[in-house]
């Protein structure tokens, strides 16, 4: 099932899916499943999270939700392990440089419009110096960070939930045993 973080919706059955259905199963985007991102997730899942929440936010405010969804899926389109790449190349400004790499990869493989280009190229602003041109670009700057925070805390939240369920189960068992004894 295609799901975004902190959402129970099956994205294939959501209106969102219409905006990305022609690109999401491409080899290039599926390849992102092979790369770890933000420690606890894959680059594919991170891109899907950003794409979906970008779409929801832009839809709500009547911005270009289709461009936001598509560019969200393509904004981190690079095919290497970030840490290994930095170690090998010694590149210190990968944080501001990877949007250029993602835009080049996206432009070579997909047809993208001027809003989508701006979103991809400046999603790390202010690390990328040029100012965003569109409202949708400011949206991804926020949504990308929001998703990164959720992805970072997701493993701790599920650990907390598991512990809570375990305690609940133990308490239920205690009540059952007490009832049987009575």
**How many residues of this chain bind Fe ion (CB under 5 A)?**
2
Choosing from 144, 150, 151, 154, the residue that interacts with Fe ion (CB under 5 A) is 144
Alpha-carbon gap, residue 156 to 108, rounded angstroms: 38
Nearer to Fe ion by C-beta: 17 or 35?
Answer: 35
E strands in 15-156? 36-37, 41-42
C-beta of 147: minimal distance to Fe ion in Å?
Answer: 7
Single out the residue of 10, 142, 129, 5 nearest to residue 68, CA to CA.
142
Nearer to Fe ion by C-beta: 76 or 118?
Answer: 76
Nearer to Fe ion by C-beta: 10 or 89?
Answer: 89
Report the relative pairing of strands 41-42 and 36-37 from DSSP bridges: antiparallel
Nearer to Fe ion by C-beta: 118 or 144?
Answer: 144
58-117: contacts with Fe ion (CB under 5 A)? 76
Q: List interacting residues with Fe ion (CB under 5 A).
A: 76, 144
């Amino acid at each position: 099932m295609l799901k975004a973080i902190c959402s129970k919706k099956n994205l294939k059955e959501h209106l969102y899916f219409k905006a990305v259905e022609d690109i999401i199963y491409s080899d290039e985007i599926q390849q992102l499943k092979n790369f770890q991102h933000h420690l606890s997730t894959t680059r594919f899942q991170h891109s899907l999270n950003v794409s979906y929440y970008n779409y929801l936010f832009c839809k709500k405010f009547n911005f270009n939700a289709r461009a936001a969804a598509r560019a969200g899926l393509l904004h981190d389109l690079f095919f290497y392990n970030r840490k290994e790449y930095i170690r090998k190349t010694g590149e210190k400004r990968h944080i501001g440089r990877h949007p250029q790499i993602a835009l080049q990869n996206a432009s070579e493989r997909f047809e993208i419009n001027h809003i989508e280009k701006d979103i991809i190229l400046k999603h790390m602003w202010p690390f990328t110096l040029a100012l965003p041109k569109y409202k949708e670009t400011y949206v991804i700057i926020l949504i990308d960070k929001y998703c990164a925070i959720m992805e970072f805390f997701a493993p701790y939240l599920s650990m907390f939930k598991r512990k809570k369920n375990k305690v609940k189960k133990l308490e239920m068992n205690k009540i059952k045993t007490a009832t049987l004894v009575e």
